[in-house]
Amino acid sequence: MSRAVAYRRRGVDDIDGKIIEHVREYGSVSNRTVQRTFDLHVFAARDLISDLRSRGILAKIGEAKGGPNVRYGPGPKFPKS
């Protein structure tokens, strides 16, 4: 008998809140900033940013296609305050 596992999207948690506050204060955030702030591996930081982008909280800004110069700023669903 197989059981289906329901996927649930993460809600806003403490880490999300701190990233949102960082973007409010500095205007953007990078993968490296997330890694250093939360002591995460590069892939864990990527997944966290990807989740925030998929929910519309963050959006890629600038022309960089990849690497350390990619920055993320407020997306269409970025919390007002």
Taking only the tens place, the pLDDT of each residue in 18-68 is 999 999 999 999 999 999 999 999 999 999 999 999 999 999 998 888 887
Residue 67, in any domain of the structure: yes
pLDDT: which is higher, 2 or 39: 39
Token representation of residue 54:
């998929």
Alpha-carbon gap, residue 7 to 36, rounded angstroms: 28
Q: In whole angstroms, what separates CA 7 from the centre of its chain?
A: 19
pLDDT: which is higher, 80 or 50: 50
Q: What is the pTM of this model?
A: 0.80
- Compute how many other C-beta atoms are within 10 angstroms of the C-beta atom of residue 66: 7
Residue 31, in any domain of the structure: yes
CATH of the domain at 61: 1.10.10.10
Residue 81, in any domain of the structure: no
Number of domains in the chain: 1
Residue 8, in any domain of the structure: no
Residues 6+ apart with CB under 8 A from 30: 68, 70, 71, 72
Q: In whole angstroms, what separates CA 24 from the centre of its chain?
A: 13
